[in-house]
Amino acid sequence: MYENHFGIRKKPFSIAPDPKFLYMSDGHREALAHLRYGLESEGGFVLLTGEVGAGKTTVCRCLLEQVPADSDIAYILNSKVTVLELLETICDELEISYPSGAASAKTLVDAINKHLLGAHAAGRRTVLIIDEAQNLEADVLEQVRLLTNLETHQQKLLQIILLGQPELQEKLNRKELYQLSQRISARHHLGPLDRKETKAYVLHRLSVAGLNTQVFSDESYAKLYQLTDGIPRLINMIGDRALLGAFSKEKSHVDKKMVEQAAREVFGEKVKKSAAFLSIPAWKIAAVTSSIVLVLLGVIFSLSGPLTETEEEHQAFEAVKQIMQLENEAVAQIVRPQMNKSESSFETNDSEKIDSGQENADDLRTAGNYSPAVKWPAGEEAYLSEDLAFRNVFALWGIEGHPEGQSPCRFAERNGLYCMEQQDSIESLLRLNRPAVLLMLNQKGEEFYAALLKVSGGEAFLQPGDKTYQVRLDDIAPYWTGRYTLLWQPPPGYQGSIRPGREGRDVAWLARQLSIISGENPANTGDTEIFNNDLVRKIKVFQFANGLISDGIAGKETLIMVNSKAGNKVPVLVQ
């Protein structure tokens, strides 16, 4: 109704779980990391809980868009099922044939087991995702646990991800479900957005919808956070009504009173006036969190007695999970101050200096205005943006641009590089430290691509089209979809994630690089090409030290970081 009034393509505050609208807060990024861990790990459960409307399903839909090609997913939405109905639904999702009207769980489990063995033999991974898992009865949860008993001598055949509301945690603490709770290898609770994230969330959704002017006042943001406690679904409901209210009054801006009126229409007359925790200073919360992390690490590393491999993996992952909560703060306080701030210019591909003159400075710093760095040049065909962006990134790798119209990722493979496509935060990209192609939005909410070439002192060197601009990282966020593609160099003999038990040249390469990183003599690794227990321990230590999930599997992110830490000559974002 109000789309034409504000000049947008679609409603920005729909409660549908559209991954395009996903705003990657710290919590959502960590939640997505846990779900990715579920896709990569070797059996057991991954548990993601959160309040109603926190964004669990949206994060899961984002995960489904990034599923590896060798994975099969059974996604169950209706969790109010019996044991037989659950097993039948799994068979339906995985296209497993079973006798019509099968009367026993054994018949269905046998069919599932046969399918999983065939998938495993074909090199495929099978993942079961159950949404709204708090609705599962105890006997159904027990059957889910029993499915993890399907295994070979080396590994589990089925990885299970449970999504649910906080009461799922309480249910799993019951005595009769103790065995299931023991098998949970990773847990994460998705909390609400903080005050700053609430504003960024609103700006992001407005930008995706095609609205890039300052619509909400600062006072309205504060009131919106106070009324919702940062719960995304509530923000959406009130935000939608507030825009409708502005439209009905023929206003182009939303003020504090409009937000209050919208809340009354959503919640009724009993509108919450304040949230108790708003009075707690952020520095106190950070201090307490840091203390908790240090205590947890102290407990973990002071444990006496030998640990089994499962216990070791679980404890390492739990420690990493706590550390990741402080990851963004660490990037801001440690990485960026160390960047070279003395550089005033940066060579573009055609050896021209970046245009960072005063004529662009106002645009780059003024809130609500579209800077040249975050819009596609007028008069240029937007469909050319992807080719141009990839050409600029290829140039940093010393490769001449790919032919127009050819798939850039296929062209990359022909030149010994791989593409990695993700939806994540700028902190994630800084951690991987590779130039990337970003999917941006123009003034009308239409998509275009720009190359992120370099980051220095909190400033980004962004190239939309053939001209490079210097702009603050924070100024990019409202116009960036969160999607990026970077290029990375795989090891020799690379055939996918390097897992324990693998043999080959990629394993030998990994062993040598880890020796270089740890200061050992690479010659001591010999000519081993077997991913043995010693190498598993080394990779876990490396992952732990670099804020990665310590699972002992060398996936894309781990290999990218190994390449950087070993001093190999590759293009980086941050010098």
Query: What is residue 103's predicted lDDT score, i.e. its pLDDT?
Result: 67
289: amino acid identity, one letter: T
Strand 459-463 relative to strand 447-456: parallel, antiparallel, unpaired?
antiparallel
Report the alpha-carbon distance of residue 143 to residue 162 in Å, rounded.
14
* SS3 call for 225: helix
Q: Give the integer Cα–Cα distance in Å for 15 and 564.
A: 40
Cβ neighbors of 305 (< 8 A, separation 6 or more) are none
Closest C-alpha to 293, from 331, 325, 317, 334: 325
pLDDT > 60? residue 230: yes
Question: What span, in angstroms and rounded, lies between the C-alpha atoms of 81 and 144?
Answer: 12
Average pLDDT of 445-459?
85
- Which amino acid, residue 50? G
pLDDT one-digit tens code per residue, 291-336: 444 444 444 444 434 444 444 444 444 444 444 444 334 433 433 3
Phi-psi region of 409 (alpha: psi -120 to 50; beta: other; left: phi over 0): alpha
Lowest mean pLDDT among 360-364, 476-480, 505-509: 360-364
Task: State residue 74 phi and psi, 5-degree precision.
Answer: -110, 110
Q: What is the amino acid identity at position 295?
A: V
Res. 507: pLDDT tops 80: yes
The rounded distance, in Å, linking the Cα atoms of 140 and 153 is 26
Please name which of 377, 350, 529, 306 lies closest in space to residue 453, comparing C-alpha atoms.
350
Q: What is the mean pLDDT of residues 428-438?
A: 89
Percent of the chain past pLDDT 90, that is, above it, reads 21
- Segment 416-436 shows an average pLDDT of 86
pLDDT of 480 reads: 84
**pLDDT digits over 517-550, tens only?**
877 766 665 556 788 888 888 888 888 777 777 7
Closest CA to 90 of 125, 119, 145, 129: 129
Question: Amino acid identity, residue 47?
Answer: L
| The pTM of the whole model exceeds 0.85 | no
Rounded alpha-carbon distances, angstroms, from residue 136 to 78, 164, 463: 10, 10, 50
